[in-house]
Structures are given as structure tokens and as C-alpha cells.
């Protein structure tokens, strides 16, 4: 997911997307441990998306506290 798309989303949408990505990451890790994955790089992509969303949410919280 691109950072521009993430910044366009509202905070509630980001919270929802974050929970979906965390769920997907859990499923990917479970699948990797049990029978392997077709695309193991997907774990890395999901982790980066989670970090991007957390960064944007933190930036917004800091901006709100400064105003």
C-alpha cells in the first residue's frame, strides 16, 4: 500500500485497515509454520504496511496534541 493512499484515509478507516493487516499477518505466520507459503515476501509487505499506518496515526495524534 502506498503512503499517499494511507494519508488520504481517515483515522477510523486506518484503524480498521490496521486490524485487518494484523489478522492477515497472523494467518500468514501460521501458514508459514504449518505448511509453507507460496509468497513468503508477503509477510514483509504486510509488516511494512502496518508500520506505515502506525506512523501516520502517530503523526496525526501529535498534530492534534499540538493544536
CATH code: domain of residue 56: 1.10.287.310
pLDDT, residue 29, reads 95
The range of the structural domain enclosing residue 18 comes to: 3-66
Task: Look up the pTM and report it.
Answer: 0.91
Show the 3-state SS of the chain: CCHHHHHHCCHHHHHHHHHHHHHHHHHHHHHHHHCCCCCCHHHHHHHHHHHHHHHHHHHHHHHHHHC
pLDDT digits 0-9 by tens, 18-55:
999 999 999 999 999 998 889 999 999 999 999 999 99
Q: What's the domain count of the chain?
A: 1
Residue 67 pLDDT > 90:
no
Residue 6 above 90 pLDDT?
A: yes
Amino acid at each position: 500500500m502506498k503512503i499517499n493512499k494511507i494519508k488520504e484515509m481517515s483515522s477510523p478507516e486506518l484503524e480498521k485497515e490496521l486490524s485487518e493487516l494484523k489478522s492477515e499477518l497472523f494467518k500468514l505466520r501460521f501458514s508459514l509454520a504449518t505448511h509453507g507459503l507460496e509468497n513468503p515476501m508477503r509477510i514483509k509487505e504486510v509488516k511494512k504496511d502496518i508500520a506505515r499506518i502506525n506512523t501516520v496515526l502517530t503523526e496525526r495524534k501529535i498534530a492534534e496534541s499540538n493544536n
